[in-house]
Structure 1
Amino acid sequence: MAARAGYSEFRQDEIYMMGLLHDVGKIGVPNEIINKPSTLTDEEFAKIKEHPGMGAKILSNIKEDPELTIAAHYHHERFDGRGYPDGLSGFDIPEAARIIAVADSYDAMSSNRSYRKSLSKEEIIAELTKGKGTQFDPKFADIMISIMKEDEERKQKEDGNV
């Protein structure tokens, strides 16, 4: 997505590293909560909501790249302001975190989880479309949707279905 958005290779690498490390704060959340197959209690969800702050604190110790804290801290903010931990909205959310939010959601939807099976590409596109302007920055949701559609077209051509 960062390449498609026109970022330099250096910035793409930074955002890639942020993506790898954005959930490091989950190390402080018990596995029973992370892997719970049913709905979380209010207390369990409160514990989950601590992971962005924990992750930012852990990553703040890497003095060579202070921006690593951005994605960890802000990746659960929502474009409409209903996210956490700070309730930021729109362009007040750092752009790198808005990219990571879409990528993280794609990863969650396309992976099997303890509480549900992975979604189909069509279902993921529908969820990204539904979340544009509310959960996601529309620009980055559109980029992810375009990437997914192009990937599907490429696979069909390789398989001789187009």
Structure 2
Amino acid sequence: MSKTDSKAEDYIDYHEIIECITGALDAKDQYTANHSWRVSELAKKLCEIIGLSNSDTNELHIAAHLHDIGKIGIPDSVLKKEGALTPDEWELMKKHPAIGYEILNKSNRMKQISGIVLHHHERYDGRGYPEGIKGNDIPLGSRIIAICDSIDAMTTERSYRSILSPEECYIEIEKNLGFMYDPFIGKYILEHWEEVIKPFLDLKNCI
């Protein structure tokens, strides 16, 4: 068997694992499961635009599917709360990247992915969580998921805030480059905005 065939089989195996894990997440919170699926599709598209290898793209696609898996460990009273979280509830919610890391890091085949999941809420300026790392110290996959995660959140209606238009979302991404988001990644997504956002919103409308 060639190395290419082996990697393809590994990818299929990974997706079988993903379907099992995300099935559990879907049973707990359908919004989170659908959100993770949309983020994974957007992240895959962004990887293709940036020109990442198939191997790196596949790995990130998987990590994006699983980036919120730690929310399985968040109490329903917090996860499904209608309205803004209290400071104590927010501290509980912020534990989900570390919970996801602990779940995935138990598998040798998921160790790389677990690190991407752990850091997907870090900020480029170091003001994120859980570890407050910044810039290129944040794994590339985490930096890509962070911007895709924000795009889906901003363009999704929630009970506690209004949906943003694609134009408003563009402005929010642009003004936060170098602060929340990696400016290199942000440049790619803004330069290819129509190519990225139209199929993404079409995808959202299908759910």
Taking structure 2 as the reference length, what is the TM-score of the superposition?
0.69
Higher relative helix content: 2
Contact 2:120 2:145 in 1 (8 A): yes
1:29 lines up with 2:104 in the alignment: no
CA contact (8 A) 1:77 1:83 kept: yes
Cα separation, partners in 2 of 1:40 and 1:140, compared to 1, 3 Å: same
Relative distance call for 1:15 and 1:147 in structure 2 (3 A) is same
Deviation at 1:29, TM superposition (A): 1.0
**Distance in 2 (alpha carbons) for counterparts of 1:139 and 1:119:** 23
1:55-66 equivalences under 5 Å are 55-66=100-111
**Offset at residue 107 of structure 1 (A):** 1.2
1:124 corresponds to 2:169: yes
Residues 1:51 and 1:153: Cα distance change in structure 2 (over 3 Å): closer
Q: Is the Cα–Cα contact under 8 Å of residues 36 and 114 in structure 1 kept in the other structure?
A: no
Question: How do 1:106-145 and structure 2 match up within 5 A?
Answer: 106-145=151-190
Q: Which amino acid aligns with 1:141?
A: G
Mapped to 2, the partners of 1:89 and 1:41 lie a distance apart of 26
Identity of aligned residues (%): 38
Of residues 4, 11, 19, the one that matches 2:56 is 11
The answer for unaligned runs of 5 or more in structure 1 is 155-162
Alignment of 1:35-54 (within 5 A): 35-54=80-99
Higher deviation after alignment, 56-65 or 81-90: 56-65
Helix, strand or coil for the counterpart of 2:110? coil
CA separation in 2, counterparts of 1:152 and 1:4? 13
CA distance in 2, matches of 1:89, 1:152: 27
**CA offsets per residue over residues 9-57 of structure 1, 9 Å max, x none?**
1110110101000110011112332233322111101101110100000
Q: Which moved more, 1:60-69 or 1:84-93?
A: 60-69
What is the CA deviation profile of residues 80-117 of structure 1, one whole-angstrom value per residue up to 9, with x for unaligned ones? 00000000011111111000101111111111223123
Residue 117 of structure 1 aligns with an amino acid whose one-letter code is: S
Question: By how many angstroms is 1:6 displaced?
Answer: 1.6
Answer with 5-14 or 78-87: which moved more.
5-14
Q: How many residues are aligned here?
A: 154
Q: 2:113 aligns with which of 58, 68, 78?
A: 68
- TM-score between the two structures when normalised by the length of structure 1: 0.88
Q: 1:97 to 1:52 in 2, by over 3 A?
A: same
* Pair 12,46 (structure 1): closer, same or farther in 2 beyond 3 Å: same
- Give structure 2 stretches of 5+ with no counterpart: 1-45, 200-207
Who is 2:19 aligned against? none
Alpha-carbon distance, 1:152 to partner? 6.4
Check conservation: 1:102, 1:144, Cα contact below 8 A: no
Check conservation: 2:101, 2:115, Cα contact below 8 A.
yes
Most deviating of 143-152 and 32-41: 143-152
